Amino acid sequence: MTASPFPAPDLDALARWLADQRWFGAKASGVPELTLLDLVPLGGDPPIALAVVEAGKDAAGPLHYQVVLEHDPATGAVRPDALCDLPGARRFVAELAASRRHDAGGATVSFRWLDAVPRPQGTDVRRFGGEQSNTSLLVDDTHIVKVFRRLVPGTNPELEVLRVLARRGFDGTPSVAGWAELGHGGDEPTTLAVAQELVSRGRDGWEHVLDRLVTDPGASLAELRDLGCTVGRLHSVLAEVDDDPDFAPRDPDARAWQRLPRTVADDLRALVLSHPGHREVAALEDLADALERRLDAMVDASIGGCWIRVHGDLHLGQTLLIPGGWKILDFEGEPARPLEERRRHQPALRDVAGMLRSFAYAAATHGRHTGRPAPPGWEAGARAAFLDGYVTTVDPVLLPPTAAGVRAQLTVLEIDKAVYELGYELGNRPDWAAIPARGLRRLLEPDPR
């Protein structure tokens, strides 16, 4: 269907609003200069429209963002985010539940709700208040609709992976109910949003662990061992997929692995050059060469294990603890990396490295909140418990053949993750950069464990 015309937004005002959003990934560059790429009216009263704007570029490519606008016909004003407003959020959910399609200016927005899933009434729509890089809407206490803010052409890994896991009967993730996508002619559509079942009685894993650090640190260790088991089961199921070439396990990409030391070191050098005034970055200026030497020394011993499609951005905030165990969420991968890279086969231990880094973040955040360091030995205990659960559960075909190889591969991947974290924090939360910087210094010690 084609909706009525929608007034173009004031791009200067929209840019100022965009620069203040948690999910905008180039805060260090200030207020961006915007280009309006698409504007697709979705109808409603008040009318809403889906806009896609370009806000410059970063290492992953053009910065394209999705914004759902709302028009007030009485005043002529165009609000920058209809998803903050109850009528606008309800309208977006209604379009999804009704599987509608809208065309404008060569662009098509298609909403799809699976026939086998009961359609929500959409009478109770609330915006999820957690800190994240997307926007999530809670619908009727039965579903959650994740609206992707940064858009990259193609199918989002979140949608791809959840479909595959559903076909394999894996119960450690929510099930998909529907999605929205943006198309331009014959190009592969870009995923705009994904609707999933709402996991009831779930507790955010990050918040739960931070609470445990205050109330009962020891109890968290058994829970984290169980989480390791769940991640091991996830990887084992992904390793079983043999009927889809985009997911079937592959031999390690030896050439890509050999390039990793130089790539990670160059990433660190680029961060140092682009943030010369930042205290934490300046302290790392002399570490890039040492980092490359350490990775070079380990890279041969660390290759091994089949490569699979992985979560790609696994940390405590991507998990829910429920009475029956753990659920794993958010399979879109690291949003600052190119989509092609996020959809690439990788070592399963990349997800494990991400979770181990999350324990470092939990320990540091506990100190920030309480003014006291984490309980002595907690981070080391959390690492050991999670790894024990993982290694005893995962299909061994996914691991290097020796314990020394597993340790070396983990160290390589943790260093890579810490450099990525440093770049992410400098672009989004500069005052958090000390956490990955400390992690890098620890990982460059002769025996970081």
- Can you give the pLDDT at residue 449? 55
CB atoms within 10 A of CB 197: 14
| H helix runs in 168-253, sequence order | 205-215, 217-239
CB atoms within 10 A of CB 349: 26
Alpha carbon distance 111, 147 (integer Å): 12
Question: Across 269-340, where does the E strand assignment appear?
Answer: 307-308, 319-322, 325-328
Q: In a structure prediction context, what are the per-residue pLDDT tens digits for the chain, which is 449 residues long?
A: 666 689 999 999 999 999 999 888 777 778 889 999 999 999 988 899 999 999 988 777 789 999 999 999 889 999 988 998 888 999 999 999 999 999 999 999 999 999 989 998 878 999 886 656 789 999 998 999 999 999 988 899 999 999 999 889 999 999 999 999 999 988 889 999 999 999 888 899 999 999 999 999 999 999 999 999 999 999 999 999 999 999 999 999 999 999 999 999 999 999 989 888 788 888 888 888 889 999 999 998 899 999 999 999 999 999 999 998 999 999 988 876 788 888 999 999 999 999 999 999 999 999 988 999 999 999 999 999 999 999 999 999 999 999 999 999 999 999 999 999 999 898 888 889 999 999 999 998 876 55
**Element holding 347 (H helix, E strand):** strand 346-347
Count CA within 13 A, CB hemisphere, residue 124.
6
Q: How far apart are the first and last CA of the chain?
A: 59
Are 302 and 405 in contact, with CB atoms under 8 Å apart? yes
Among 337, 261, 272, smallest CA distance to 302 is for 261
User: How far lies 209's CA from each of 40, 129, 345, 361, in Å?
Assistant: 42, 19, 30, 11
- Can you give the pLDDT at residue 2? 60
- Can you give the pLDDT at residue 108? 97
- Strand ranges of the sheet holding 143-147, from the earlier edge strand across to the other edge: 101-104, 107-113, 176-183, 190-197, 143-147, 135-139, 125-127
Question: Which tokens in the block code for residue 310?
Answer: 């992985």
Are 165 and 327 in contact, with CB atoms under 8 Å apart? no
- Can you give the pLDDT at residue 283? 82
Alpha carbon distance 341, 333 (integer Å): 9
Are 182 and 108 in contact, with CB atoms under 8 Å apart? yes
Alpha carbon distance 298, 304 (integer Å): 12
- Can you give the pLDDT at residue 130? 62
Question: Which tokens in the block code for residue 223?
Answer: 């829970």
The DSSP secondary structure of 103-159, one letter per residue, reads EETTEEEEEEE-TTSPPP--SSEEE--S--SSEEEEETTTEEEEEPSEE-SS--HHH
Are 364 and 323 in contact, with CB atoms under 8 Å apart? no
Domains and CATH numbers, the chain: 11-197 (no CATH), 203-443 (3.90.1200.10)
